[in-house]
A and B are shown apart, each in its own frame.
Chain A
Amino acid sequence: MSDEHGPTPVSERTDAMAADRPLVRVRNLQKHFDREDSILDRLLGDTTNPVRAVDGVSFDIREGETLGLVGESGCGKSTTGETLLRLLDPTGGKVEYDGEDLAEHEDLFSFRRRAGVVFQDPFSSLDPRMTVGASIRQPLDIHDWPWPHSDVDTSRPKGELRRERVADLMERVGLSADQLDRYPNEFSGGQRQRVGIARALALDPEFLVLDEPTSALDVSVQAQVLNLLEDLQDDFDLTYLFISHDLSVIRHICDRVAVMYLGEIVEVAPTEELFANPQHPYTEALLESVPRASTDERDRDIEPLTGDVPSPRNPPSGCRFRTRCPKVIPPADLELTQPQYRAVMDVRRRIENRDVSLDGLDSSGGDAVETLFDRLLEGVDLPASERPHLREAFEALVEGDFEAAAETLRERYASVCERRHPDGERAACHLDADDVRLDADGNGVWVGEELDAPVTDTDS
């Protein structure tokens, strides 16, 4: 619905400034999942909207840095990691690794040697029927290590060399080498995660995707693993893509951070800048929501986001965050405060979704309209100037004409946030646009040209 606006070229410009070429360039990456259609559905052509798990994501990862990818569950961050590694086939877009487009590789075998992954679940990431030694050794077997030019004595039997390497790796990640014949169920979660890291390091990669590597661990063990990851990065010159939902961990370990919401990146910035001065309202809300482990926490006032994340099958038009955003930009000539504007927008959304009960309304006379005011805008003190617009819509509603009511509201109240896909240097938000005037509280008003015809929210 917003394809003509293209993806956020957020990092394109920032990268021009960076001297060195990024190790990984992701451009407009997309991954959509079709529902597992049954054969009958296929025959009947009965398909549903695909889940747009990743929908046009662009970023760069520079050599030696840790890029954080943070977002809530279902935002597509893990899918981004897996699609980047080609564990999933992308629906669109491209990934360049060290200057080469991965799609042009005939097979990814040599890429697999250079890029590894560590997964979240220490229980499912190791084969319960394989000793940990065999798990760590597997990549060595696959790639027939040692290679001719390796700096090991290749005249010795390969099996012996591999066993030694596995023992070294285990020691390196803080396990004892004599545990390599044990099975995963004899290890704790933290130890298993170390095994997973050792396996990822087996082929001496330069790039690792760390997909929530500490989320399943207790705090004390998480700290051990985070320290280990930092040490390994220094020792082996690794580049990390660190995927997590935990902002404290992200802040601790990352150099730069990309924030994802509903399949898109909404903000990319160096860690300190992002945490000190978040530009996107979503980043701001996310940071605010995390409870701090400090005694001042009780007195900290937070304004939690309202509502839930919309379905990625049918994401909102324009800015995807607008349905929960506390700073939606109203058209210029409204005399509404942000809460009032939000209340009106909520009413509009309900009308568009036909989620308004008309039971018990007498279809004649003004009483019905008043009842609707009571029902839908209870406790909202609207200025007199806006009441006629709502009245007109409610009159249509009383007649049962949802379409006309929605149209009336759309014409009057539609925001730039729903009509245009946002774009920006750092944050993908219209608040940064030149055509938006900001007031003292950081709320904006659209003062630019008249916008195109509003788009409908419902895709029916």
Chain B
Amino acid sequence: MISERVKRSLSREFKGSRLAQLGVVLVLLLFLVATFAPFLALHDPTTTRIGTGGTEDLSELPPLGFSYTEQRVTPSGSETVEITARQTFPLGTNALGQDIYSRLLYGARVSLLVGLLGALLATAIGVPYGLVAGYFGDRIDDTLMRGADVMLAFPSLVLAIALVGVFRDSDVHTTTVPDPFVHAARSDIVPNVLIPRAAHVAEMPASFTFPVTVTLVVALVNWVWFARVARGEAMSVRAEEFIKAARSAGASDWRILRQHVLPNSLTPIIVLATIQVAAIILLESALSFLGFSGTDLTWGADISDGRSDQRSYWWIATMPGLAIVLAVIGVNLLGDWLRDALDPSIEGEGGV
């Protein structure tokens, strides 16, 4: 149920704020790119082109508009080669000759999925926890929230690394998710005329690796923020007279939590969840940068790849870095918009 007032408030804030508009555009872009990566990608992001087996060495191509010279050792001594950008690799290639542009598109999938699922999971853990603490108060509150405080006391990255260490050797560390578009293009279930560029799509990877552990870890690191906000909301809702009225009618605590406390606490939780998506994208990047992710097709891993050659091949690390910056800014601006429109009194808590 979205009331008229909320709609009005959302549209007013949207119209009045360039930043909100930018945020929406960036987030929409992120969604589109992540969803339709097989259509938009120019190459299979995992194909390497390092000149083995008679293929052309296309590693470390610069982005369009850039070029550089390099000393190459040839049988006839060394020569200076000028390496120029190629139209087909608009953002250049990395040390393995993989197309950076295509990798960014696929990296968006992982970042966005981890961000959304992580935030969802954190909400699912934190909100009930906080609502129960805030609604019952007293000793239950003390016990639960002291526990939550202990969680907060760990630096989130350290905690994440420790948790990854526990899970990384298990079977569930990563899972392989099939790509529906590619499957459709390869099979005959859907007539290929209905799929734009079907032949191109069919050449894309049939699945991508989703880092399960990392998703669990970011949720475990972030749920405390949800618990705190939910607790605060529950405490204020608890004092309302309609809660007393429900109790006087014989409503159980469970019913009150579900029917009254949760719906009346939702607004700030939604705002927080949005902002936490950005925080989680950052945390995921950090973890994959450090190599804990289990998949190398992510922005963080790409940065890590380009790190050693930062001076000579700056684009390898910079391009995924820019992608992270834009995604995080976009989600944060979206969250700010929601916050300003729905509930000007809350602050965006948390973050990394």
* A contacts, CB < 8 Å to B: 39, 82, 85, 87, 108-109, 112-113, 115-117, 119-121, 124-130, 135, 138-139, 142-143, 183, 185, 196, 199-200, 202-203
- Chain A positions within 8 Å of B5 at CB level: 185
- Chain A positions within 8 Å of B247 at CB level: 87
Instruction: Check: B263 CB closer than 8 A to any chain A CB.
Output: yes
- Chain A positions within 8 Å of B240 at CB level: 124-125, 127
Task: Evaluate contact between A119 and B241: CB separation under 8 angstroms.
Answer: yes
- Chain B positions within 8 Å of A135 at CB level: 242
Q: Top 5 closest A-B pairs, CB basis?
A: A112-B250, A139-B249, A125-B241, A119-B241, A129-B263
Of the candidates B142, B146, B244, B251, the one whose C-beta lies within 8 Å of that of A138 is B251
Chain B's closest residue to A199 (CB) is: B245
Residue among B242, B246, B263, B264 with most chain A CB within 10 A: B242
Task: Evaluate contact between B244 and A87: CB separation under 8 angstroms.
Answer: yes
CA distance A116 to B252 in the complex (A): 16
What is the distance, in angstroms, from B148's C-beta to the closest C-beta of chain A?
14
Known: A116-B249, A183-B3. A129 touches B264 (CB 8 A): yes
Per-residue interface assignment for chain B, residues 176 to 214, with 1 indicating a CB less than 8 Å from any chain A CB and 0 otherwise: 000000000000000000000000000000000000000
Instruction: Check: B18 CB closer than 8 A to any chain A CB.
Output: no
Task: Evaluate contact between B259 and A130: CB separation under 8 angstroms.
Answer: yes
CA distance A129 to B248 in the complex (A): 19
What is the distance, in angstroms, from B235's C-beta to the closest C-beta of chain A?
11
- Chain B positions within 8 Å of A112 at CB level: 248-250
Chain A's closest residue to B264 (CB) is: A129
- Chain A positions within 8 Å of B255 at CB level: 142
Task: Evaluate contact between A119 and B259: CB separation under 8 angstroms.
Answer: no
- Chain B positions within 8 Å of A138 at CB level: 246, 249, 251, 259
Helix, strand, loop or mixed for chain B's interface?
A: helix
- Chain B positions within 8 Å of A113 at CB level: 250
Given contacts A39-B142, A125-B242, A200-B245, 18 further A-B contacts (CB under 8 A): A87-B244, A117-B244, A117-B248, A119-B245, A120-B241, A125-B241, A127-B259, A127-B264, A129-B1, A129-B263, A129-B264, A130-B263, A138-B246, A139-B249, A142-B255, A185-B3, A185-B5, A202-B249
- Interface residues in B1-23 by Cβ distance below 8 A to A read 1, 3, 5
Task: Evaluate contact between B263 and A143: CB separation under 8 angstroms.
Answer: no
- Chain A positions within 8 Å of B244 at CB level: 82, 87, 117, 119
Chain B's closest residue to A38 (CB) is: B142
Task: Evaluate contact between B241 and A124: CB separation under 8 angstroms.
Answer: yes
Known: A39-B142, A142-B255, A183-B3. A127 touches B242 (CB 8 A): yes
23 contacts between A and B (CB under 8 A): A39-B146, A109-B250, A112-B249, A112-B250, A117-B244, A120-B241, A124-B242, A125-B241, A127-B259, A127-B260, A127-B264, A129-B1, A129-B260, A129-B264, A130-B259, A138-B249, A138-B259, A142-B250, A143-B250, A185-B5, A196-B245, A199-B249, A203-B249
Chain B's closest residue to A127 (CB) is: B242
Task: Evaluate contact between A139 and B260: CB separation under 8 angstroms.
Answer: no
Number of A-B residue pairs at CB separation under 8 A: 69
What is the distance, in angstroms, from B249's C-beta to the closest C-beta of chain A?
4
What is the distance, in angstroms, from A282's C-beta to the closest C-beta of chain B?
29
- Chain B positions within 8 Å of A200 at CB level: 245
Chain A's closest residue to B143 (CB) is: A39
* B contacts, CB < 8 Å to A: 1, 3, 5, 142, 146, 240-242, 244-252, 255, 259-260, 263-264
- Chain B positions within 8 Å of A39 at CB level: 142, 146
What is the distance, in angstroms, from B186's C-beta to the closest C-beta of chain A?
48
What is the distance, in angstroms, from B251's C-beta to the closest C-beta of chain A?
5
Of the candidates A115, A125, A183, the one whose C-beta lies within 8 Å of that of B245 is A125
Task: Evaluate contact between B245 and A85: CB separation under 8 angstroms.
Answer: no
Residue among A115, A120, A124, A185 with most chain B CB within 10 A: A124
Known: A127-B242, A127-B260, A128-B264. A142 touches B248 (CB 8 A): no
Of the candidates B142, B146, B242, B252, the one whose C-beta lies within 8 Å of that of A126 is B242
CA distance A85 to B250 in the complex (A): 11
- Chain B positions within 8 Å of A127 at CB level: 240, 242, 259-260, 263-264
Chain B's closest residue to A42 (CB) is: B142
What is the distance, in angstroms, from B74's C-beta to the closest C-beta of chain A?
74
CA distance A55 to B248 in the complex (A): 23
Residue among B5, B244, B250 with most chain A CB within 10 A: B250
Of the candidates A87, A124, A128, the one whose C-beta lies within 8 Å of that of B248 is A87
What is the distance, in angstroms, from B178's C-beta to the closest C-beta of chain A?
40
What is the distance, in angstroms, from B142's C-beta to the closest C-beta of chain A?
5
What is the distance, in angstroms, from A132's C-beta to the closest C-beta of chain B?
11
Chain B's closest residue to A140 (CB) is: B249
CA distance A121 to B259 in the complex (A): 20
Task: Evaluate contact between A142 and B249: CB separation under 8 angstroms.
Answer: yes
Chain A's closest residue to B138 (CB) is: A36
Chain A's closest residue to B262 (CB) is: A129
What is the distance, in angstroms, from A114's C-beta to the closest C-beta of chain B?
10
Task: Evaluate contact between B251 and A142: CB separation under 8 angstroms.
Answer: yes
Chain A's closest residue to B263 (CB) is: A129
- Chain A positions within 8 Å of B245 at CB level: 117, 119, 125, 196, 199-200
Chain A's closest residue to B251 (CB) is: A142
